[in-house]
């Protein structure tokens, strides 16, 4: 049985993951509105990843005999000054999520919940990858300094991203 403090912290993370999906959905909407379909498609895959993360937490809490506490999701921003500003906001958001995951690990360690600590290590590795990927995009966007031809090339490149998984059905584990 999962300890209440761990259950509550993991439930909060579900909310954070759902907010991330909503945040990236808003970013994709903005990118579509300025005709950067490749960047918007990249964000669409981010939405799928965040929903998958929320589903992993959901399933884990239930596997441990816990109950999820569902909360409202706040509205994300809807406009950015540029694609660079958008991806800088993305990087800042991923850094915040890394902090949230690290905090969950700290809670699991403090509660001597080795199963949850083990579960969270996938997310620790995932956040390293997330920050690295977004940091690379930010570097490219800074390098081009608003060159529309170079932005077109980045848009085309990022539009080729494909999902690495299929969305699991909520409550179903593989």
Per-residue pLDDT of the chain (174 residues; tens, 9 = 90+): 899 999 999 999 999 999 999 999 999 999 999 999 999 999 999 999 999 999 999 999 999 999 998 899 999 999 999 999 999 999 999 999 999 999 999 999 999 999 999 999 999 999 999 999 999 999 999 999 989 999 999 999 999 988 766 555 455 444
**Is 149 part of a structural domain of the chain?**
yes
User: Alpha-carbon distance 107 to 125, whole Å?
Assistant: 18
169: in domain: no
CA atoms within a 13 Å half-sphere pointing along the CA-CB vector of 113? 23
Q: How much is the pTM? A: 0.90
| Domain boundaries, position 108 | 4-158
Evaluate whether 10 touches 104 at the Cβ level (below 8 Å): yes
CATH of the domain at 55: 1.20.1260.10
């Amino acid at each position: 049985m999962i300890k209440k403090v761990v259950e509550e912290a993991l439930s909060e993370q579900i909310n954070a993951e759902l907010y991330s999906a909503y945040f990236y959905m808003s970013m994709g909407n903005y990118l579509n509105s300025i005709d950067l379909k490749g960047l918007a498609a990249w964000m669409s895959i981010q939405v799928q990843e965040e929903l998958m993360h929320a589903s992993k937490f959901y399933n884990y809490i239930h596997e441990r005999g816990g109950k999820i506490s569902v909360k409202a999701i706040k509205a994300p921003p809807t406009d950015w000054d540029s694609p660079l500003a958008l991806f800088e906001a993305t990087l800042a958001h991923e850094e915040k999520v890394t902090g949230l995951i690290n905090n969950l690990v700290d809670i699991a360690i403090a509660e001597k919940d080795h199963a949850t600590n083990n579960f969270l290590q996938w997310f620790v590795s995932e956040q390293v990858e997330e920050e690295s990927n977004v940091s690379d995009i930010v570097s490219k966007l800074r390098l081009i300094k608003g060159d529309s031809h170079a932005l077109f090339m980045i848009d085309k490149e990022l539009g080729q991203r494909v999902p690495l998984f299929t969305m699991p059905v909520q409550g179903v584990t593989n």
